[in-house]
A and B are shown apart, each in its own frame.
Chain A
Amino acid sequence: MGAGSEHDPAPHRPGRGKLRIYLGAAPGVGKTYAMLNEAHRRLDRGADVVVALVETHGRPKTAALLDDLEVLPRRTVEYRGAHFTELDVAGVLARRPEVALVDELAHSTVGNGTQKRWQDVEQLLDAGIDVLSTVNVQHLESLNDVVERITGVPQRETVPDEVVRSADQVELVDIAPEALRRRMAHGNVYAADRIDAALGNYFRIGNLTALRELALLWLAGKVDEQLDRYRNEHGIAATWETRERVVVALTGGNEGDTLIRRAARIADRNTGADLLAVHVVSSDGLTGADPATLSRQRVLVENLGGTYHQVVGDDISRSLLTFARAENATQLVLGASRRGRPAQILSPGTGVTTTALSGSIDVHLVTHDQIGRGRRRLPRLSAGLTLRRRLLGATVAAVLLPLLTFVLTDLRGSLNLTSDVLLFLLGVVAVALVGGVWPAVAAAVTGSLLINYYFVPPLHEFTIAERNNAFAIAAFVAVALMVSAVVDLAARRTGQAARAAAEAEVLSTAAGDVLRGEWALPALLDRVRETFGMTSATLLERAENPPAGPGPPGRVPAAPEPIRSAADRAGWTVVAASGTPPCARPEQGDTEVPIDDLHLVLRGRVLPAEDRRVLAAFAAQAVVALRQRRLADAAAEAGPLAEVDRTRTALLAAVSHDLRTPLASAKASVTALRSPGVPWKDAERAELLATADESLDQLTRLVNNLLDMSRLQAGALAVQPARIGVDDVLPAVLRELGAASLPVRLRLPYDLPELYADPGLLERILANLVGNALRHSPADRPPLVSGSAFGDRVELRVVDRGPGVEEADWHRIFVPFQRLGDRDNTTGVGLGLALSRGLAEAMGGTLEPEHTPGGGLTMVLALPAAAVPAGPRHEEVVDG
């Protein structure tokens, strides 16, 4: 935004008038209307307001606002043989009003000595006259190329951005694209016969939305400039702005609700931010998670627009971060530790560890009222105890035994050998509790040696004098070993219980997924992939017929095939997959679970044996989900079959009626002529023959339509495109329709490019469209056929002012055989539009309905132009 460009935003000079601009995204948004309202406001305040130049474009509401305003006369200019009316700058200067209204700032001018109207406006401003004006965003110089890219229409009439940006006030006149379309449809923007290809394309919702965005952005840029200036003046640093993904970690405790809500608020603050909740299930220990709480929190997350995930991992911090990185998370929300202070001294806790490892991901540690109420985790073992626990046990032994020896040596006088041995036993049991069986065994052996050396006479020798003491030491070793074995076993059992609990939790989530309905299978595979940390999970089904040659059943192979294994012959089809790349065959995966013809194949790593049990359960669930879905599909298919049967009967009645009706008229006429003894007058004979002729024509058309429809549907329609002008085809069309008695208005520009189309087919389409339009037009408002070019296409618009068709029914009118039964004689079997669209598409064109402004239906037939015409020939879209 060039605050320092050559047109310095004019600081308001004393004596210079003020410029107020109404900026719109497209014609018809109501700029002129807003400007006139402002004029009235100023008039009411007692200002001297004149209308120097306002275009009402025949819009009655706008014209009404002109009524009690003073309108200055315009100059009439002759230019290349045509007369234009133009702003009379001299006249306005002579009149010297306080405020002058000048519409359409970007308009080219003729004969004022200026090129553009904004230059005229500058003169008025310089003379100290305040000016109200309007401009559309498409006319802004800097947006010229963008607008052309969006709309396909280049703009020749532009106004330099500086002129608009330096205006004292720019007011955006904004309206939703849908509302503008409605305004168009009601005929409040343009009259029906003004709509041509360029305009029709211009007013597509997509275009209007893009133009609106442009207008808003442009204005926001202007606002930004002001804001930047303000920021600079006040030393405010710029803020950042990216798309956010917020991951919230759930432990399964009650504090999760607080965390989720907090994370949702963080996500809310950033438009378009995603919310993901994740719960880490530890694979080898107690989770401490309450499934009921988790499932409640899952619902909460989903209600807040987020998604719920579960991952399996031993190290909670690392698992969380792995998940967060995989999901491109930018923020991670954790609860502050639930453990009490003493526990935090021993290990820093998940929050601190995660923060230390988080890298570029922001970590929010959220406090909650569950702090310090954490459950104590029990020691756990999966294959015995973890290495860490064993090392800890060894350390305890290494510290405790020398300490005991030292203390007991000091107290040798007051304690006897029994107490010494018992105290050593206590130490060994402590080691067993911490480090399991192996540290305990080591401690027991070391302990026995220490007792022998330091406490059993003879002291400081590894010999035992009394048999009694030898027994005591032997018993000590035995008890220590047994106690540590029991402790170790308990730890193993605890581990198994924990693992079972974790498995149960994972499976209950999986079962919940299956119950969730149609998306069960993908959700389940997602869950499998997440739970086991795989890159992809695929459900494959063995297809007995390889996809290469699915011959008819029972077919005898022509030559005996070489014998191959069943697996070789079988093809595999992917039923469902999660993650990439999916496996196309079972052997591509690292882990596989077969169930009948279905194989659940995982890619990523080879799964340890103990996980396979859970995986098998998952596979079973997946198969159940698949069967459930197939059953539902089959049930859904059975319903429409009956419907199809009914439809077919009704359709047959319709076709039969349409064939019989003209046949009946023709036969009645011909048999009447043949009946002996009736002295037909010439007029009667002629009329009967005409009736028979018309009826046979009608029959021919119907049969042709039916044949073409079936050719189209079989893809056997012969299209022979050639260069052809619309005016070569239209006369034949009108003749065929007998449109001599029914007027059809034509508006074909003399420079309309030729089409590249099949003349016969084009004639058929036009005959159909014009016939429809004639049928639905009121007698006093004949249909209009207009042609215009847009890019490399020519659009023919067949406009009727009939009752029109609701937008919701637009797709329906193109469905063939929509009329069922024989009740309605006016529409035929409904082949017409379906066939026309099919023919248009066969020629590389399109046929689309639109609202006729002011009511009625417009059919837009777009076909490729024969060749790119020389020179630009776009029509410019200006306001009006």
Chain B
Amino acid sequence: MSVVLVVDDEPQLLRALAITLTASGHEVRTAATGWRPLAEVAARPPDLVILDLGLPDIDGAEVIARLRHDSGVPIIVLSGRTGGDKVAALDAGADDYVTKPFGIEELLARIRAVTRRVACGDRSGPRTARPCASTSTACAASSNPTRPARDT
């Protein structure tokens, strides 16, 4: 069971994601501001961060950059913004980008994909040490060039 930190300032979405992710076997923590996850990641590192870009206190892109400064935790951006912001978020260090509105299946699939890649250690940088939970076939699947992971 992996720990997922969901950061969004919309209470309804937080609630829906909390229920769904818990039901699919994750431990869910939530935050409605940008500063909380920064502190949280340092104190109790999660396995995955799902992050909204439009936060009331600091911009999501800034949160990504700061997270990346001292942590390799995988980040999936969840935002209504499209276009240039998407590229900027990915360049800042996000692992994937889901545009609102989205189907829950898609989000779950992306969570699985990102988790797999992390398990195979295809990223450098500081990272929480966690034994690879998936099988080697899953690793092979994620590195298969015919199935691009960032297709949205």
**In the assembled complex, A807 has its CB within 8 A of some CB on chain B:** no
Question: Interface readout for B96-134 with A: 1 if CB under 8 Å, 0 if not?
Answer: 000011111101100000000000000000000000000
- Which of B38-46, B51-59, B69-77, B137-145 makes up part of the contact surface? B51-59
What class of interface size applies to chain B in its complex with A?
20 to 34
Chain B residues near A663 (CB, 8 Å)?
A: 100-101
**In the assembled complex, B147 has its CB within 8 A of some CB on chain A:** no
Q: Are A660 and B16 in contact (CB under 8 A)?
A: no
Question: Interface readout for B16-32 with A: 1 if CB under 8 Å, 0 if not?
Answer: 11011001100000000
A661-B10, A822-B54, A823-B59 are known contacts. Are A668 and B17 too (CB-CB below 8 A)?
Answer: yes
Q: Are B24 and A656 in contact (CB under 8 A)?
A: no
Q: Are A672 and B104 in contact (CB under 8 A)?
A: yes
Q: Are B103 and A667 in contact (CB under 8 A)?
A: yes
Closest A residue, CB atoms, query B15: A691
Chain A residues near B100 (CB, 8 Å)?
A: 660-661, 663-664
Question: Interface readout for A799-825 with B: 1 if CB under 8 Å, 0 if not?
Answer: 000000000000000000000011111
Question: Interface readout for A522-550 with B: 1 if CB under 8 Å, 0 if not?
Answer: 00000000000000000000000000000
A666-B101, A691-B15, A822-B54 are known contacts. Are A672 and B80 too (CB-CB below 8 A)?
Answer: no
A661-B80, A678-B23, A822-B81 are known contacts. Are A668 and B9 too (CB-CB below 8 A)?
Answer: no
Chain B residues near A698 (CB, 8 Å)?
A: 12
Chain A residues near B15 (CB, 8 Å)?
A: 665, 687, 691
A664 to B80, CA, bound (A): 9
A824-B56, A825-B54 are known contacts. Are A653 and B105 too (CB-CB below 8 A)?
Answer: no
**In the assembled complex, A680 has its CB within 8 A of some CB on chain B:** yes
Chain B residues near A823 (CB, 8 Å)?
A: 54-56, 59
**In the assembled complex, A331 has its CB within 8 A of some CB on chain B:** no
Q: Are A665 and B13 in contact (CB under 8 A)?
A: yes
**In the assembled complex, A62 has its CB within 8 A of some CB on chain B:** no
**In the assembled complex, A684 has its CB within 8 A of some CB on chain B:** yes
Chain B residues near A665 (CB, 8 Å)?
A: 10, 12-13, 15-16
Chain B residues near A668 (CB, 8 Å)?
A: 13, 16-17, 20, 101-104, 107
Chain B residues near A837 (CB, 8 Å)?
A: none
A666 to B80, CA, bound (A): 14
Q: Are B54 and A821 in contact (CB under 8 A)?
A: yes
A667-B101, A823-B55 are known contacts. Are A660 and B80 too (CB-CB below 8 A)?
Answer: yes
Question: Interface readout for B61-103 with A: 1 if CB under 8 Å, 0 if not?
Answer: 0000000000000000010110000000000000000001111
Closest B residue, CB atoms, query A697: B12
What class of interface size applies to chain A in its complex with B?
20 to 34
A653-B81, A657-B54, A664-B100 are known contacts. Are A675 and B105 too (CB-CB below 8 A)?
Answer: yes
A230 to B99, CA, bound (A): 88
Q: Are A684 and B10 in contact (CB under 8 A)?
A: no
Q: Are B13 and A671 in contact (CB under 8 A)?
A: no
CB distance from A676 to the nearest CB of B (A): 9
**In the assembled complex, A138 has its CB within 8 A of some CB on chain B:** no
**In the assembled complex, A5 has its CB within 8 A of some CB on chain B:** no
Chain B residues near A669 (CB, 8 Å)?
A: 12, 16
**In the assembled complex, A136 has its CB within 8 A of some CB on chain B:** no
Within 8 A of B (CB), among A653-699: 653, 656-657, 660-669, 671-672, 675, 678, 680, 684, 687-688, 691-692, 694-695, 698
CB distance from A693 to the nearest CB of B (A): 9
**In the assembled complex, A414 has its CB within 8 A of some CB on chain B:** no
Closest B residue, CB atoms, query A681: B23
Question: Interface readout for A117-142 with B: 1 if CB under 8 Å, 0 if not?
Answer: 00000000000000000000000000
A589 to B16, CA, bound (A): 78
Q: Are A825 and B102 in contact (CB under 8 A)?
A: no
Lowest 9 A-B CB distances belong to which pairs?
A822-B54, A660-B80, A664-B100, A665-B12, A667-B101, A671-B103, A671-B104, A665-B13, A672-B20
Known: A672-B104, A694-B12, A825-B10. 6 other contacts (CB 8 A): A664-B102, A666-B101, A667-B103, A672-B20, A823-B56, A826-B56
Residues of A at the B interface (CB closer than 8 Å) are 653, 656-657, 660-669, 671-672, 675, 678, 680, 684, 687-688, 691-692, 694-695, 698, 821-826
